[in-house]
Each structure stands twice: as structure tokens, then as C-alpha cells.
Amino acid sequence: MKVARDLMVEVTSLKRDEYVTRARQILRDDVYREIYITDDQGHLRGMIDITDVLRVTDTRSNVTIAGFIRDVSGISPDTPLEEAASAILKAGTDSIPVSAGNGKFIGSILLRDLFPILVSRHEITGLVRDAMTEDVVCCNTGDSIQKVYSLITDTGYASLPIVRGKELLGVISRRDLVENGGIRRSLGNSTRTQVNKVMTTPVITATPDMQVSEASHLLVSHDISRMPVVSEGTVVGILDRHDVLRTIVKKA
């Protein structure tokens, strides 16, 4: 049976006096949404989230990450995967740090790697309507990038649906905001680039009456973290990896 060490990946860690621009560069170039912070002895001292990084838009900022560090608890290399999933749920993150017996940070487990294994390992029951989040924050196609940026940083969501009226047209993710140089330039000046110019289409969706197991396989096969739930063309909810994990952990 696989445990934490089997999925652990080595990741870059930072010190508290390093610049936010350094963190943004790492998050833009890699798949991670969190960076872990260590002291001079390599012990885990917290984490910084991609949403925190988005709050600083200046490409030459001398702001350090010290003021953005959040507390986080690590797991051991021998931790069962279901316990690792519970730790991710508790932390509300997309990864969990792994520490050796001496307390030194040695890597992390990414939810995107853990999720497919748990989906294949467990029988997932129930309907999407019972697992989804109903309170959906959406953007309109005419909204500016600045407005969307503010919504993503304020809510902390990984992505937001883009609608026209009640019709779902696309999605935009916080990674789009970090990776796309044109978007970053729009954030740094007074231009009003509209979100429909940069949103992702078509959108992978679920329906309220779909089985959570089927929706879970959509998340896995398309390697997406969350997807809109649509009924008669209208967004009625969001289903993400954490929603599915809650179902799995309850049954484990």
C-alpha cells in the first residue's frame, strides 16, 4: 500500500527574507500553488499561497514573503495516503509538506498526484448536487481583468466561471493570471482588457444529477481542480477536488 514517500516530490523552499517576486517566478514556472518556507536548518516554518503572491503585481517589488507566511503542519513519509488527504482538507491547500524524523522539510505531496489514486482506490457514491458547493462566484464576460483579479485574490478560488447573463461561456484561473504576461501587463496599467479575451473555452462541466464518481473521473482525465455544475445552461454549483475528497475521507 502506497504511503506519503511514494508520492513525495522534491520542491523548492524559500526563506522568510526572500522576495515575493521570487515566489511568483517559481509558481509561474512550476505546477505548485504553495511554496513552503524553511529556516536556515531546513525546518518547516510555514507556507505561502499563490493567491498571496497575486496580491503583489509589481514585477520589481522589494516586498519579502515574511508578511504572507501561513502556518501549516507537515506529515511523515510513512503517512497513509488517506491521512494525507485529510491533512490537505484540513489545511485547505493543494499540497501537503513532508518532514523527516528530524523535522527537516524533505518534499511535498501534490493533490493533483494524490487525487487520481484515491479516486481509483475508493468507491465514490452520491450525486454531484449533494457534494457540490452551491454558492458560486462568477464573472461576467464584460468584466475587466482588474475586476477578475480582485475577485480571485479576495475569494482564494483557483478559478472562476465566466458568464453572460446566466449562460456559462468560459473559465479563468489564478494560474492564468500568473502565467500570462499580457494579463500581468494589464494589471499594471489602466487598460481595461476584458476577461472574454483571455478566458478558457470550452468548459468541462458536470450536472447536478451526475454521479460524483463520474464527475471525479472528469476532473482526473482533464487534470482540472474544479468545474462548474450546470443545469439547463445555468451555473448552479462548483465541484472541486476537495469536495470529492470529503466524500472519500468520510467513507475511509
Output the pLDDT for position 46. 95
Task: Report the pLDDT averaged over residues 76-95.
Answer: 95
- One fold for 4-121 and 128-251: yes
User: How do residues 124-150 score in pLDDT, each as one tens digit?
Assistant: 999 999 999 998 999 998 888 888 888
How far apart CA 165 and CA 206 sit, in angstroms, is: 19
Lowest mean pLDDT among 11-15, 109-113, 153-157: 153-157
Asked whether the predicted pLDDT for residue 69 surpasses 60, the reply is yes
Q: Which CATH superfamily is domain 4-121 in?
A: CBS-domain (3.10.580.10)
How far apart CA 240 and CA 252 sit, in angstroms, is: 19
Output the pLDDT for position 246. 93
Output the pLDDT for position 21. 86
Strands 139-140 and 159-164: parallel
User: How do residues 104-119 score in pLDDT, each as one tens digit?
Assistant: 999 999 999 999 999 9
Task: Output the CA–CA distances (angstroms, integers) from residue 34 to 18, 60, 94, 172, 177, in the order listed.
Answer: 15, 21, 7, 19, 16
Alpha-helical segments (H) within 72-136: 81-91, 111-121, 128-131
- Per the prediction, the chain carries an average pLDDT of 88
Output the pLDDT for position 158. 81
The pLDDT-based confidence of 189 (bands split at 50, 70, 90) is: low
Strands 44-49 and 34-38: antiparallel
Output the pLDDT for position 181. 58
Strands 226-231 and 234-240: antiparallel
Asked whether the predicted pLDDT for residue 49 surpasses 80, the reply is yes
- The CATH-assigned architecture of domain 128-251 is Roll (3.10)
How far apart CA 197 and CA 219 sit, in angstroms, is: 25
User: How do residues 163-181 score in pLDDT, each as one tens digit?
Assistant: 998 789 999 987 777 666 5
How far apart CA 175 and CA 180 sit, in angstroms, is: 8
Residue ranges of the domains in the chain? 4-121, 128-251
- What is this structure's pTM? 0.87
Output the pLDDT for position 184. 60
Output the pLDDT for position 140. 92
Asked whether the predicted pLDDT for residue 16 surpasses 80, the reply is yes
Maximum C-alpha span of the chain: 56
The pLDDT-based confidence of 190 (bands split at 50, 70, 90) is: very low
Output the pLDDT for position 25. 80
Q: Omega of the bond prior to 116 within 30 degrees of 0, cis?
A: no
The pLDDT-based confidence of 218 (bands split at 50, 70, 90) is: very high
